[in-house]
Amino acid sequence: MEVTRHNLQELMPTIRDAIDHASFVAVDCEMTGLFDYEPKPWYLDDMQTRYEDVAANAQKFGLIQIGLAAFAPSLTGLGWVAKTFNFYLFPCALEGTDRRFLSQASSLEFLSGCGFDFNKCIRHGVPYMTAVARDARLARVAREASAEERASQQPLIQLTAQRDIDFKEDFLARVRDWLASDTEEALLLPSSNSFQRAVQHQELRRPQFGAPDPPGFHVEVVKGPSGYNQLRLVKADPEVAAAARAAATSKAQADIHAAAGFTAVLEMLRGAGKPVVGHNAFFDLAFILSSFATQLPPSLRAFKELVRAWFPAGFWDTKHLACQLQAAQPAAAPEDTSLGALYADLEARAAGGVASDPGEGGLIQTAPLPTVGHSVTFDRYDFAGASMLAHEAGYDAFMTGAVFARLAVLLGGAETVQAALPALAALRGRLNVTRSDYAYINLEGPDPEPRRPKVLWVSGFEAGSLTGGSLARRVNAHQLGSTRSTVLRSGCDALVELFETSDVQEALRKLRQSLKPWRVDTYAAYAAHRETRLLEEEKEWNAAGARVGSKRPRETAGPSPSEKKERSMCAVM
């Protein structure tokens, strides 16, 4: 079922019903890009560094489509039926907010080749903003609505500067003349700064126009011809004025909720407390939370807390599940763990077909797996050639959920997902990691960090002055055998892996001598340094009021605390 800004509110009860009756929900995202640089296979980076890359890019690119598939048991109890929603997304320009995001040519070209409708996305996409930004705007509307009341309760602003006194007397004279005239036109007060507007609010509440309440007008905050906020007075009886103020406040609140759009759906999913699944979902989670929840925190540890707060019933990554099946049952597991191939393989098994045996290269008969179909009226993907819609977020979410339903049976040794979930508890919160000796990212706790006894940490060079290749050449001059060098994201430190050296301490001594004034140390020292840096950043983040679930003080796209810290540390390492 396709969802746009025009039918979102109409479909919200249907979406809520689908989520409430689901056993689990699958999600998938389409973005305008993934990397603002040429990505490199940084095998030796740690998961904090990997997170910083993902988080930085998730906050620079745009989320333009999200799929949500809610799976419930079929009436026969032998399979699953899905209610799938495909949301086109596009942030709207609201007063004070005009979202900027990057685009990556290869990503847009790929989506275009898959039939993505960019015109529909821009013209009809569901708007969104983070929950934090929405709540801050709603709070501001509430403050503005009560500005006059606050002005009447607060101590009077005492004016001492002659220019401020002249400003007050000038606008009060304009108000008196306007009230005395027969005109029904509104009065736009002179352009002012925030201090002067506070004075205006104060004076307009004072009983100086012949009555204790503002006599015969109400006050609106509008954009003046210069583009700045100004006060406009509209003649009206007190009752009409009060009703107009209440209506203006209600409209402003409704406009903000409309601009937040899909954020309400994510909050609905969080409140329902359903298990959520994705495929190779690290980027998906970062984009979802940075688009609909809040600005991403500086540390992976805080990001994990954020994920758990928004997906309290747990998150499963089907890419990791498929890899676990390969490890546990190599002869029976699908060889290709990409989403489309995985879905096709398991779909054939569920239909009583066969699957490839990577051990023998032949075919093996598989046990029946649960069928997965589409609920009545959710027929967008219910046709023989539906695979042509691969990489539409809704269809990919459906495939992800179907894969999860079947992998849960294969891994959990039970006939239903409900029965298999307890057996899959150990795999909850494990995100797939590529090109790394880390087994996975553990959203539920510490990551299983590799020891890396033959990895050394080199730091202290000028950011951008060294590449992995040039560092490797300097290291290889000592005939230490095969090595691998990775310049880290900061640009001013690197990790070097010594594959063939048996005496790491001797290699460390040689490199410390030859690479002066750079610093050379063990990987354990690097891990300790990294942990100290993260604790400092988390302390700074928390001091700024950015704890998970709190109201963020700002929503900007500037450098993250981690990025700023890296820049400053290059000069001292």
> In which region does residue 175 sit, left (phi positive, over 0), alpha (psi from -120 to 50) or beta (all else)?
alpha
Identify residue 221 by its one-letter amino acid code: V
Q: Is the peptide bond before 330 cis (omega within 30 degrees of 0)?
A: no
CB 50, CB 29: distance < 8 Å: no
pLDDT tens digits for 81-130? Answer: 999 999 999 998 877 678 899 999 999 999 999 999 999 999 999 999 99
Question: Which of 442, 445, 439, 416 lies closest to 429, judged by CA?
Answer: 442
CB 28, CB 279: distance < 8 Å: yes
Cβ atoms within 10 Å, residue 512: 15
Burial of 523 (0-12, 13-18, 19+ CB in 10 A): buried
Identify residue 303 by its one-letter amino acid code: F
Q: Give the whole-angstrom CA distance, residue 69 versus residue 1.
A: 10
Q: Give the whole-angstrom CA distance, residue 493 versus residue 476.
A: 18
The residues of the chain that CATH labels 3.30.1370.50 are 140-245
Model confidence, pTM: 0.81
The H or E element containing residue 448 is none
Query: What b/e sequence results for 405-444 when a residue is b if at least 16 CB atoms lie within 10 Å of its CB, and e otherwise?
Result: bbbbbbbbebebbeebbeebeebbbbbbbeebebbbbbbe
Residue pLDDT tens, the chain, 573 long:
999 999 999 999 999 999 999 999 999 999 999 988 766 657 788 899 899 999 999 999 999 999 999 999 988 767 899 999 999 999 988 776 788 999 999 999 999 999 999 999 999 999 999 999 999 999 888 877 775 555 555 677 888 899 999 999 999 999 989 988 888 899 988 877 878 888 888 888 776 665 545 557 888 888 877 777 888 888 888 788 778 878 888 988 999 999 999 999 999 999 999 999 999 999 999 999 999 999 999 999 999 999 999 999 999 999 999 999 999 888 878 899 999 999 999 998 888 744 444 444 333 434 478 889 999 999 999 888 888 889 999 999 999 999 999 998 888 877 666 777 777 888 999 999 988 889 999 999 999 988 888 999 999 888 777 777 788 788 888 778 888 888 887 778 888 888 887 888 988 998 998 888 889 999 999 989 888 888 888 888 877 764 444 444 344 333 444 444 443 334 334
Q: Give the whole-angstrom CA distance, residue 321 versus residue 280.
A: 10
Measured in residues, the chain has a length of 573
For residue 165, give every residue at least 6 positions away whose Cβ sits within 8 Å of its Cβ, in sequence order, or none. Answer: 159
Cβ atoms within 10 Å, residue 113: 9
The residues of the chain that CATH labels 3.30.420.10 are 2-129+262-318+371-442
Q: Look up the CATH number of domain 2-129+262-318+371-442.
A: 3.30.420.10
Q: Give the whole-angstrom CA distance, residue 48 versus residue 52.
A: 6
Q: What is the largest CA-CA distance in the chain?
A: 96
| Token pair listed for 88 | 């086109």
Q: What is the DSSP letter of 427?
A: G
Domain 455-569: which CATH number of 3.30.70.100, 3.40.1350.10, 3.30.70.330, 3.30.420.10: 3.30.70.330
Q: Which CATH class is domain 140-245?
A: alpha beta
Q: Give the whole-angstrom CA distance, residue 502 versus residue 485.
A: 18
Please give the full DSSP string across 121-180, using - where no structure is assigned. Answer: HHHHPBPB--HHHHHHHHHHHHHHHTHHHHHHHSPPPPP-SHHHHHHHHHHHHHHHHHHH
The residues of the chain that CATH labels 3.30.70.330 are 455-569
Q: Give the whole-angstrom CA distance, residue 208 versus residue 408.
A: 74
Round the CA-based radius of gyration of the chain to a whole number and report it: 30
Identify residue 333 by its one-letter amino acid code: A
The H or E element containing residue 466 is none
